[in-house]
Structure 1
Amino acid sequence: MSLRQETYGSFWEISGLYSEASAAPPAAPTEFTTGPLGFVVPSVVSNGTSEVFEFCAISIDGHPFSFILENQYGDKVNYNSRACGYDVPHQTTGYSPVCSNSDVHYGVAYNPSSTYEWTLSSGGTITSDPNLNEINVHWTGGIGTSHLLTIREVNPNSCLKPLEIPVTVQTSTAEQMNCIGDLQVSLDKNCQAIITPNILLAGGPYTYTNYAVIVMDKHGYIIPNATVDGSYIGQVLTAKVMNICNGNSCWSKLTIEDKTRPQIVCANDTILCTRMTSYLKPYVYDNCDPNPTKELLDETIENTSCDPNYSKIVTRVYSAIDKSGNRSSRCTTKIYLKRIPLDSIVYPDSFSLITKNPLTCNNFEADSLGHPLPEETGVPTLYRQSLYTNNYQKYCDYSIRYYDLEIPDPKSCNKKILRNWEIFTWTCSSFDKRVFNQLIEIVDRQAPTILALDTIRTTTTPGYNCEVELWIPPIKTFDSCGSEVRVDLVYPGGIITDFKGAYLKIPADTNVLKVRAYDKCHNVDSASFVVIVQDLTPPVAVCDKEMVVSLDRFGEAWVPAHVFDDGSYDECHIKSMKVRRMDNGVPCTFNSTVFADSVGFCCQDVGKLITVIMLVTDHHGNANSCMVQVEVQDKVIPTVYPPHDVTISCERHINLNDLSEFGSATVSDNCVADLTEVDSIHIDQCREGYIDRIFVAGNALGYTVAVQRITIINEHPFTEKDIIWPYDFDTTTCQTNALDPTNLPDTLGYPILIEDFVI
């Protein structure tokens, strides 16, 4: 048992509790020694302002207990407990008495975690498994004999004492029986009532020993031994009276009541006047209610201002009422209130840097001047009880007050307060006073708070600076200590100390401005906010009105976008220039549907005006465009390359209308060029001479001429070496035709021509 209060010392009174060193039953337990020299309760936990005291004791099962404790200051506390005991198994079936030579079924509520053991002292036999929650008993005991049936239930999660069922063996009699239908049952001084047949049966006469009573609660559980206690007060129970031998039974409804009024005991007492508000009041005991309500009916205060020991004598009249509404008799007590001993007053500690326990500003409840309330810094106490506000004014002859004096210190950012406590006591012939100075130093260790800073959105001012001149208002701050706060602002243009609001030039961008707030103790808080300056002004796009572009030797021309620029500008600087054709690249095959860094032209554009659009974009995505008329020119004259000159034999047959067998001319030009051929033939009757193939390649800009010469020669010219003359011969024939060469042999006839001579 643990009790928490200020401090407890010896027992003043105790009832129903005994030393845990008591001998085991059936020996009588050892009582505690009470009174001023009695048993002292030891302290087990202390935090300087309160303590926990613990003592161990034993009580008798089913008996109530109570005690009163008193500490060295005269404070008392009491505790009452109604009768308590171990739980027992819940009986569900079975009864007593029983009929001789009968079989009776007994049982308790089943719990799967429990084990069971039934035993029977005498008078019969357990005819079923004794280790189940239900058994059968065959009773053979003699008429009028008593026996004890015991069930022991063991459960790892609870502590249960054995349930003992007393059984009496009776004889069978044929009696008519009637039960009282509704019955009020009052509990006795031990807060119990045993429900017997003679309470429930009406009429008679009855042989009550032949009847058994079973009492069940609202859940249908059998109440052991038909004995009810205070836990059933106000409940309606069901009672069954049964003739155990012939089975006749009847029923009653029981309303359990407590009609016993509390017992109140008043005793005169002497205490400090400051303890009157926690006065224990009379000792009260009730059979069922462990803590009846104590009611103060009357109070008379006798002023004894001339008594050096006592300030007042209080006469009080009390009564008590329990939970069932039973009221005790009245009792009267006299309480002698001692004056406060000034020399025993304990004053509060100082709070300062020297004592390493200063207060932190805004960490305490304060009065209208910002000074800490006494509840925060401590008050004078007497035996750990506050004297401040004097709640005991009608019982004590003293007064208490304080006043604060701030100590200025221009070199310190902390606040110093000198709290002066004054306590006065008086009698009819004397006056006494105590003064105490308490130093309270309040330090500032908390940084100021920069209040929420919202994002600012704006646009640039028209011009050429890519910025805005923006009003930044003073930064709102809060200092829990009330200190002056200095704000520094860091922005893209630098730092401003002691910033109080100003027009600032902020560039177009997402700018993070940093704020630092300092109090007088150099505590600092920092925060930042965003100023978004948007550039919504598009660039000014300026293009050349007209432009001439010449194709290169490959028949193309790629012109960068900046070539078309004629002074485009933007206040926040140009990021890119892109260009594309307005005809989407037709008839050229360039993909000009999107803007690119350059634009292309081809031979098909020669002699035309091509419209080109230039897109100018700044760093913030704003864009503008302009257009240019481009004249495409081809300034490259084609070059013709003829076949090589050749020399052929006059004997070779040639087609003068198609000389391609001697090769074709090639033309080199960036674009398409015209090629013509003119043949100049110079061949004599001997088929010798030459042919000039004249090739002309030209375009609009000019032409180029090249010639291939075909030379025709006689590779074997006719000479005397090519003649075989006939031989000389002599003849005797005089005929004229005999000398005809035709008639002569070949060697003598005509001259023979060699090679290509033709007749």
Structure 2
Amino acid sequence: MKRPLLSIFFLVAALCSVQLMGQSVTYGFSQNEGEPLEITALAYPDFSSTNVTMATATFSFLLPTGTEIIPVVDGFPSTMGSPLNNITGLWNAQVITPENYLAVGFDPSANPADLEGNDVYQVVLQNSPELTNVVANVPIPLFSFVLPEGCGGGNIEVLTNDSGIQAAIFNHTFANFNNEMSLSVNDNPSTDGYEGNEPGGFSIPCSCDDPIQAACISELNVTLNDNCQAFIIPSMVLTGSYDCADDINLSINGTESNVVTGCGEHTYMVEILVEGEVVYNCWGTIIAEDKTPPAVVSTPEDATLPCTDFEAIMLTMLDINISRCWEVARNGEGVYVTVPGTMAPALADRLDLVAGAQDAVVVPEFTDGCAPRLQVCVNDVATFGEDPTCDDITITRTFTATEISDCESAAGEENGPAVTSFDIDFLRPGLENVQPFADELDVAEYECDETLTLGANGNPVPRAEDLPFVQFGDRTIPLVLEGAVCNLALTYEDGPRIQTCPNTYKFVRTYTVIDWCEPQAPLTYTQVVKVGDTTAPDFTAPTQDRDFDGTIDDGPLEFSTNAGDICAAYIRLDDPSIVLTDNCSAGIELKADIYPFQDLNGAPIGTFFLDLNDGDAEIAGPIPAGTHTLRYTYTDDCGNADFTDVPFTVIDRTAPVAICEDGLNISLTSGSSTGGASTGVAVLTPEMIDNGSYDDCGDVTLHIGRVRQLANGTYELLPGAVYTDELLLTCADLGNVLVGLRVTDERGNVNYCWLEVLVEDKARPVCFAPAPVNISCIAYNAELPADINEATDEELDAAFGAATGIDNCEVTITQTISGDVNSCGVGQFTRVFTATDGQGLTNAAACTQRITVYGIHDYTLTFPTDEEADCAVVPDYDGIGIDERACDLITINPSVDTFRTTGTASEECFKLEVTYDIINWCEYNSIGQAYLIPRDREGDRNPETELMYLHVRPGVSQTTTADDIAWLSKFA
């Protein structure tokens, strides 16, 4: 059966490189054409030179696990490495097999694809060979090795720089497995010239006739590592011949993994593949054992404590029924911590190193590879000096951690415990450790109202805080009477009493401190002890409930100004809320001083001596507005005194004084025209009704508003009204108007006064008559009645114009008319107007209009033709025709003269001559001559056949007849 011996792939990697003036190399492999099992490592330059030196070089690559090359390469780490078949330079190699993965810091479970099933080879250049003929892209052979006979399977692969494999190895061993080559080209300084891997690939044909004859090991024992894991490779579970296998699949517990996790039995399965098909499979059992004992992670440092703690710390002092063991378990972060409820509280107290404390135990930290829990037990061994009562004591505290494991082990093969310990030294104090270092203690004071423990002499026995003490670090350990602190004993003796005041005395107490280990030179302390009244009286400052809600208000006391015409207040100093007591004395002196504006360095107002029980109010003042300090000083019979500063504020809470004028009359100004809106106004400001309003503490602000009086006599703003800077009074306010004055001080206090303002209109109206009017008799006759007095005001206003009146408020116009026109429609009229306001006042000046009606002559007279008849018959003839177009008054008086012939037929034949006297009474001039109109119109008229017309027309100006025109015409 013929198939490839080894597939060799030269992988492309996009890697970083440092080039020397644009010069670099890549790595690759080739096979000997005559000997396909001989593999040569090559470097491909991208430059040409006759002067090249290889300074250093590293070549790392992978081969399938179990491939034994010739020459044989030592495993990692190798001191010198194994020499290969050198071609250019001397090359030494070492190999890392899967059994050594963890030893070099590589965990294939974290990144198995990079390394699984491969050996890692590192080949290092040992000298600096010189090259005399380097040609670009022509490979430089470096070294060679020979592959074994048979079919090894898998690939040969140049490692990718900075891969997970190389990074893990470097972090653990600091051995650099990256591919590198440093060159010196044409005597230029060396630099890294590695560029990447040479691409390409081919197969080597070989003969593999060995049959697959393999079997699984039925039961394999493995030891778990510190992570409770073991890595399995095919050679560990297979026996027999399987070199011709293309691939071997290994699964554990049904998962595609070669990692065993946890102790106990695990089932593995093996599949052997040839040309992609499974030709053999088998299975077996792996027994994983935990043979790694617990380990100590950290141990507490040695401790030093005072000897007083020995019995509280020593574990042998615990009751025998209290367990000295507890359990720890691995938490989510992999740290073993105490399992709640497994450590006895009494044990925890002693493990704390400070008796009585909790939740701060001082214990080592342990860990283990597989066991989920550990049992930790502790015991103490005390070491005493030659003199147990005087020498220091040392406790050696030992901790033993034992696995609580789920893994079964054969009898006698259990993992051993982890043991660690630390020392606790208990030091005994000497007199040099006693404090205070001075020979006099602070004064010890006992109040007369205390419940005292008295000694045989009737004096109070010392308290712990009054005694000398030992200072150990930041701890204070008082000495004790009638006993000892370790080796230190304390006694005392009292001197005679001295009476100082009622219920009060003092004496001197002497203490002696003895070190029983060195009793020759004891320490002596003196202390003044005072018994009685040493405390100042208790004073409760005055309080206020300003909002009367039953709760005392915080902040300074507040008093309102109340001194009258000045901005100040009188205040009560012995307020009933003051409480003053003393624990011993019956008599207490209380005095008060007032520091204006809280200036405690200035001169106070006072002093005021107060008696809280006499029932009389103690008043001080006047105190100006502002914030001040009221200092109460209180002293008992023994002279114990204290003071309390009480801030208080005098605030202007007194309303200002509002004073209004007794009464005010105000007249409206401006005016309104006839029929228009009333525009008479008057502006009323607060200052106009103020009569000297003021405030004790500052300026006031005035506002005015419309008010009304309620049935109960009080006042309020009218609905919708506000207090403002001015009121606008109008004609609607004529009469009495009730207004209010609001007076506001700088603190917002408000007061009011009210008054009635009489709003008057004292201005007579003014009348403006329309202009004189000239009107023709034609218009007059057309628009007005014959009797002008029958015309209405509206007709007169329409014809001649309306009068206008102006007044502060409303005004009414009335009128009369007098005059007449003659029969010609000519005449004059006079219109008299009267403007009357709401108060009945009328215009003072005359308000008249003159109307002139003028006449117009516009008419035509038609003169008839001559007429004739037969035989004594008087013919019919026309009279004078009149066409009046204006205001003329024309009358005609005809006269007829008969003319008979003197001959025959005087009765039958005759002429009638009609003469017409035409009078226009509107033009008539009684002293002038009549105008004779010719019959023939000055010779161009035939009276028998043609009519004649007299036309009279007004001239350009109709208001005069001086330019009238008259003419005779044959045309109408």
TM-score by length of 1: 0.39
Bigger radius of gyration: 2
TM-score by length of 2: 0.31
